[in-house]
Copies of this chain bind each other. A is one copy, B any other.
């Protein structure tokens, strides 16, 4: 019994760590995607933001966020209380004693591996924000927001669902975070975009919308493939346990459905773009993949692979139109993050009812509403404070010249483009 217990603990921990490493890799995916979709002159800065926000997320979540999201004992189901620093990992002697007493329920793994898996999720949520505010926001004010977002805003709403708070009690279901992670990132991004305003030249005086093409399509595609790969960890690891027949089957189903939804998103976005614009717009196809992945994230376990493909396909159609609508509303999101993660995040939460009999539409809408409202308002307040104090937007000259030189003192492609400076 003790031997078996040791092995299960080890296998589940190892599974958690590998899945977490895949999710960490998504940070690279966001960095490449965003770097590919901005102009050359703003590339170094977006790269700097992406690597720095990941680091900030890791530190803040270690210092306070993890404890907020998963408090030992919560003060209430709305407010977890606050405490600092990580506790120790499980004591092997105690853990093994559990097995000896025979009441092991198969849900043990290293606490540190849980932290690792959770911390890379926070970074994902924050990565969503960096794309939407690209090409015009200052670096350090952005990182100041990241401190608050990853230390407090994300963990608090995360507590409401995954920490056992009131959304969990209300029957709201969100397997891997269409709401807790993706909608959260998109809501924070939307607040930032509203306070920041559009890039110069994006919207004309007479309502025209000027496309601003990204500088590097292979990079954007690479980023999407990285995200797709990382998502196997994101969703697959959210089963939390793999060590018996039922759990292993569940993880396998999640892998298959995650992949199927992304495939559905790609095909649907490709056809939608072709029918709408007459061209196979690659950026829409990439957003279709991400949309499909976001859409299946709230429930990647219970659908059949065929239904998962359809859920992804709907997301792939939605994202194309969402991007068009946001542009009509002059909400300038250079990479389509709000559409892919926000609109399709809500779709994902709703789609849970299609296959999971435990889900209710009302609980799903409650969850979506609460997460969006809280994160949007909290983020808006934080962005507004930063704006009112140090400012969030670069000067017009800096924006014209590109933020790479003003913020980082370094061009991304110094030999490829003289346009890089103008």
**Distance of A9 Cα from B286 Cα, bound (Å):** 35
Q: Is A8 an interface residue (CB 8 A)?
A: yes
Given the known inter-chain contacts A112-B252, A245-B92, please indicate yes or no for A58 contacting B259, CB distance below 8 A. yes
Given the known inter-chain contacts A229-B25, A416-B415, please indicate yes or no for A267 contacting B7, CB distance below 8 A. no
User: Which chain B residue lies CB-closest to A289?
Assistant: B51
Q: Is A124 an interface residue (CB 8 A)?
A: no
CB-based contact B10/A215 at 8 Å: no
**Distance of A54 Cα from B262 Cα, bound (Å):** 10
CB-based contact B417/A416 at 8 Å: yes
Q: Which residues of B contact A50 (CB under 8 A)?
A: 221
Q: Is A370 an interface residue (CB 8 A)?
A: no
**Distance of A221 Cα from B419 Cα, bound (Å):** 22
- Shortest Cβ gap from A52 to chain B (Å): 6
CB-defined interface of A16-34 with B at 8 Å, one 1/0 digit per residue? 1110111011011001100
Band of interface residues on A: 35 or more
Q: Which residues of B contact A54 (CB under 8 A)?
A: 263, 266
Q: How many copies does the complex hold?
A: 3
**Distance of A416 Cα from B36 Cα, bound (Å):** 13
Q: Is A81 an interface residue (CB 8 A)?
A: no
Q: Is A43 an interface residue (CB 8 A)?
A: yes
**Extra contacts besides A5-B245, A13-B242 (17): CB < 8 Å:** A4-B4, A7-B11, A13-B249, A14-B15, A14-B242, A27-B225, A28-B225, A28-B226, A35-B218, A47-B282, A48-B280, A51-B286, A55-B263, A59-B263, A281-B408, A281-B409, A415-B417
- Shortest Cβ gap from A373 to chain B (Å): 31
Instruction: List 10 A-B residue pairs with CB atoms under 8 Å apart, sorted by A's residue number.
Output: A7-B11, A24-B229, A48-B285, A54-B266, A58-B259, A58-B260, A95-B245, A110-B248, A112-B255, A139-B280
CB-based contact A229/B51 at 8 Å: no
Given the known inter-chain contacts A249-B112, A259-B119, please indicate yes or no for A213 contacting B11, CB distance below 8 A. no
